């Protein structure tokens, strides 16, 4: 069952990637008006049209592109920051640990999405503002997690043993500590991408995310919300793809955690 | 007498803890000649492992000095590993679980830029009796004995003249224990390296060591030739340790247990540090810390030694 969910989710995410890359070109462009508003799904517009008569299929695909791009790039930057902060705090001198961790704790004082809204509100909505705001909220939880892992790995006897063989600190960190974090990082990254995609959709839903006419799942949900009593389908599609994406990322994250256990990875 | 491979002069190492400092090693002095085996025995927590870490430079000294081949330990550790190797107590914990065996054995060679580490890896694996095909295995795919052989191979890779063994057989089954002990003894005959053998198992110590040091609360209370100390102990603590060791002759009855516990290492004890548990203690022991008494190549700290 676990294996089925994992591989089903991997297939879903692979299809989503293809959808994001090729979807906007298949029939209509995402900005092209193909007919009157709110056409039902048809041979021409597979999922119908939106409030301006644009192809929902194409706009969903473009929204996937936006979501994945923001999710992956924000989490990549977040992991890099978290690795530097977490390794510095976990492996470095006690004073460095105190400085870095108190700063990280300070970041937790702000509720995630409110901090992002504040940042976008100050800078003004744009792709880079959203990217920056989400990167700021992404790193602290990962930094704390990595710091705790590094701290416990540092005390492992194989680290002391390597030091006794004449290994320097860089060797220990890069050869004996960070490789042990790969599984955890990839698992956490998946869950974190899901969180960031959700946060980006929330910002777009509130109208301060990616700006129109660029489509985003969040803004599509927001506009479709106004006509949900007469036509539920334009609301259903973005909600469905958003939920499935979040679920799939979480399942893959869980699966990766199991798969990176050294004992199973070794095939023994 | 040849130049000692290891000289320890009044070594002291203390940990800072809330409420004071634990003096894990508190004034230890001894020499170790090339090719000689000195065993260090004592209860858990007496400072044996801290002493080993201090010799490796992993635990800074708070007093005294340690010289390996005449050079003081401290500062840059990178060269020290070529002179001192160590076999840890638990090979499962001291080998990186993500590293294949061959890579683990080659690690010291790569760290010290010994060219063509492949040949040397084969050489030491052969020396410790490991099959070549185990090179590609992970530690969890080996048996306990094989893992400890890997640990020995790794410690020997740089061919250090001094090898520390921190209870190398404590984590092993009885049947494998003998194999590893024989291996260590054979290796010493072949390579001529000196061993500092840390253990609380008196039987293995008697088998492998030339001299023995009995450690109590951070200090060597008695040090001397293995036969002399085992057959004719002078310090009451040595006597108690020997009495509490299970032997075949004493099978079926509980060993004579030393009364009391090791005192809190945070406390600074006046007089003799063993007095709280000593059956021979007298008034003088409460106030005066006994000086070392030297007697036919042996040394002990006691006002009223066992006859």
The answer to whether position A23 is within a domain reads: no
Is the CB of B56 inside 8 Å of chain A's CB atoms? yes
Q: Domains in chain B, ordered, with CATH?
A: 6-83+160-301 (3.40.50.300)
Query: Which whole number is the average pLDDT over A197-204?
Result: 90
Q: How high is the pLDDT of residue B255?
A: 61
pLDDT in tens, chain B (307 residues): 578 899 999 998 888 888 778 888 888 999 999 989 999 998 887 888 899 999 988 888 888 899 988 888 877 777 788 889 999 888 889 999 999 999 999 999 988 877 667 788 888 999 999 999 999 999 999 988 899 999 999 999 988 999 999 988 888 888 888 889 999 999 999 988 999 999 988 888 988 999 999 998 888 999 999 998 988 888 888 888 888 776 666 666 666 667 777 777 777 777 888 888 888 778 888 888 888 888 878 888 888 888 7
**More confident position, A112 or A252:** A252
**Rounded to a whole number, what is the largest CA-CA distance in chain B?**
65
Residue A268 binned pLDDT confidence (cut-offs 50, 70, 90): very low
The answer to whether position A56 is within a domain reads: no
Q: How high is the pLDDT of residue B248?
A: 66
Question: Residue written as tokens 């024989």?
Answer: B182
State what percent of residues in chain B have pLDDT above 90.
29
Count of structural domains within chain A: 1
SS3 sequence of chain A: CHHHHHHHHHHHHHHHHHHHHHHHHCCCCCCCECCCCCCCCCCCCCCCECCCCEEHHHHHHHHHHHHHHHHHHHHHHHHHHHHHHHHHHHHCCHHHHHHHHHHHHHHHCCCHHHHHHHHHHHHCCCHHHHHHHHHHHHHHHHHHHHHHHHHHHHCCHHHHHHHHCCCCHHHHHHHHHHHHHHHHHHHHHHHHHHHHHHHHHHHHHCCCCCCCCCCCHHHHHHHHHCCCCCCCHHHHHHHHHHHHHHHHHHHHHHHHHHHCCHHHHCCC
Optimal mutation site among A149, A153, A159, A161, interface B, most CBs of chain B within 10 A? A161
Nearest to A166 among B81, B93, B95 (CB): B81
Search chain B and give the residue with CA nearest A166: B78
- Tens digit of each residue's pLDDT (9 = 90 or more) over B177-212: 888 999 999 999 998 899 999 998 888 898 899 999
Residues of chain A contacting B154 with CB distance shorter than 8 Å: 165
Q: Which residues pair with B197 in a beta bridge?
A: B39, B165
Contacts across the A-B interface (CB distance below 8 Å): 59
8-state DSSP, B79: T
Minimal C-alpha gap between B51 and chain A (Å): 14
Search chain A and give the residue with CA nearest B58: A164
Sign of CA dihedral B61, B164, B33, B108: negative
With H, G, I as helix, E, B as strand and everything else as coil, classify residue B154: helix
Search chain B and give the residue with CA nearest A157: B94
Chain A residues in contact with chain B using a Cβ-Cβ cutoff of 8 Å: 156-158, 160-168, 171, 176, 179-180, 262-263, 266, 268
Residues of chain A contacting B81 with CB distance shorter than 8 Å: 164-166
pLDDT at A150 over 60: yes
Range of the domain at A206: 65-258
Search chain B and give the residue with CA nearest A178: B98
The answer to whether position A19 is within a domain reads: no
Q: How high is the pLDDT of residue B99?
A: 93
pLDDT at A267 over 60: no
The answer to whether position A249 is within a domain reads: yes
Residues of chain A contacting B163 with CB distance shorter than 8 Å: none
Is the CB of B60 inside 8 Å of chain A's CB atoms? no
The answer to whether position A168 is within a domain reads: yes
Q: Any alpha helices (H) in chain B, and if so which ranges?
A: 48-55, 91-94, 101-111, 117-127, 144-156, 174-191, 202-208, 226-231, 236-244, 283-287
- C-alpha–C-alpha distance, residues B102 and B116, integer Å: 13
Residues of chain B contacting A166 with CB distance shorter than 8 Å: 77-82, 108, 111-112
Lowest model confidence (mean pLDDT) among A38-47, A114-123, B57-66, B134-143: A38-47
The verdict on a CB contact (< 8 Å) between B97 and A158 is yes
CATH number of the domain at A214, please: 1.10.3720.10
With H, G, I as helix, E, B as strand and everything else as coil, classify residue B131: coil
The answer to whether position A179 is within a domain reads: yes
- Tens digit of each residue's pLDDT (9 = 90 or more) over A52-102: 778 888 889 998 999 899 999 999 999 999 999 999 999 988 899 999 999
Is the CB of B141 inside 8 Å of chain A's CB atoms? yes
pTM, to two decimals:
0.81
Nearest to A158 among B78, B82, B95 (CB): B95
The answer to whether position A267 is within a domain reads: no
The answer to whether position A202 is within a domain reads: yes
Is the CB of B173 inside 8 Å of chain A's CB atoms? no
Nearest to B108 among A165, A262, A263 (CB): A165
The verdict on a CB contact (< 8 Å) between B140 and A263 is yes
Q: Which residues pair with B72 in a beta bridge?
A: B67
The verdict on a CB contact (< 8 Å) between A179 and B98 is yes
Optimal mutation site among B96, B107, B136, B155, interface A, most CBs of chain A within 10 A? B96
Average pLDDT, rounded, for chain A:
87
């Amino acid at each position: 069952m676990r294996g089925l969910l994992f591989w089903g989710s991997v297939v879903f995410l692979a299809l989503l990637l293809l959808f994001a890359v090729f979807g906007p070109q298949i029939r209509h462009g995402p900005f092209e008006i193909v007919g009157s508003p709110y056409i039902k799904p048809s041979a021409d517009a597979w999922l119908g049209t939106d409030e301006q008569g644009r192809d929902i299929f194409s706009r969903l695909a473009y929204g996937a592109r936006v979501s994945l791009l923001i999710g992956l790039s924000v989490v990549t930057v977040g992991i890099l920051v978290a690795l530097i902060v977490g390794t510095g705090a976990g492996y470095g001198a006690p004073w460095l640990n105190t400085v870095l961790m108190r700063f990280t704790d300070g970041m937790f004082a702000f509720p995630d999405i409110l901090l992002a809204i504040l940042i976008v509100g100050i800078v003004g909505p744009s792709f880079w503002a959203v990217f920056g705001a989400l990167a700021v909220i992404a790193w602290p939880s990962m930094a704390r997690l990595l710091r705790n892992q590094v701290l416990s790995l540092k005390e492992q006897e194989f680290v002391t043993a390597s030091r006794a063989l004449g290994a320097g600190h860089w060797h220990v960190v890069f050869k004996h500590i960070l490789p042990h974090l790969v599984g955890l990082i990839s698992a956490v990254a998946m869950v974190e991408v899901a969180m960031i995609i959700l946060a980006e959709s929330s910002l777009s839903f509130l109208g301060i995310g990616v700006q129109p006419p660029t489509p985003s799942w969040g803004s599509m949900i927001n506009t479709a919300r106004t006509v949900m009593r007469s036509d539920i389908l334009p609301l259903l599609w973005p909600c469905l793809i958003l939920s499935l994406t979040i679920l799939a990322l979480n399942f893959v994250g869980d699966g990766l955690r199991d798969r990176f256990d050294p004992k199973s990875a070794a095939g023994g | 007498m040849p130049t000692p491979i290891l000289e320890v002069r009044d070594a002291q190492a203390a940990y800072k803890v809330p409420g004071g400092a634990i003096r894990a090693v508190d004034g230890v002095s001894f020499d170790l000649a090339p090719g000689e085996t000195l065993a260090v025995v004592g209860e858990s927590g007496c400072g044996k492992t801290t002493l080993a870490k201090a010799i490796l430079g992993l635990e800074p000294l708070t007093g005294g000095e340690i010289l390996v081949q005449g050079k003081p330990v401290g500062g840059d550790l990178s060269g020290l590993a070529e002179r001192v190797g160590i076999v840890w107590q638990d090979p499962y914990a001291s080998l990186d679980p993500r590293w294949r065996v061959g890579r683990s054995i080659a690690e010291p060679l790569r760290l010290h830029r010994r060219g063509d580490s492949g040949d040397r890896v084969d050489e030491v694996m052969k020396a410790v009796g490991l099959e070549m095909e185990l090179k590609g295995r992970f530690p969890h795919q080996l048996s306990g004995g094989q893992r400890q052989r890997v640990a020995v191979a790794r410690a020997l890779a740089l061919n250090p003249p001094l090898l520390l063994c921190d209870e190398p057989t404590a984590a092993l089954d009885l049947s494998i224990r003998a194999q590893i002990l024989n291996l260590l003894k054979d290796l010493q005959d072949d390579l001529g390296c000196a061993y500092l053998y840390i253990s609380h198992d008196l039987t293995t110590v008697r088998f492998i060591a030339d001299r023995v040091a009995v450690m109590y609360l951070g200090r060597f209370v008695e040090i001397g030739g293995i036969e002399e100390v085992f057959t004719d102990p002078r310090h009451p603590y040595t006597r108690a340790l020997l009495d509490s060791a299970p032997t075949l002759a004493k099978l079926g009855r509980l060993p004579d247990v030393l009364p009391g516990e090791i005192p809190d290492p945070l406390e600074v004890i006046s007089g003799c540090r063993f007095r709280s548990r000593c059956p021979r203690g007298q008034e003088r022991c409460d106030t005066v810390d006994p000086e070392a008494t030297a007697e036919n190549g042996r040394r002990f700290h006691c006002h009223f030694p066992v006859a």
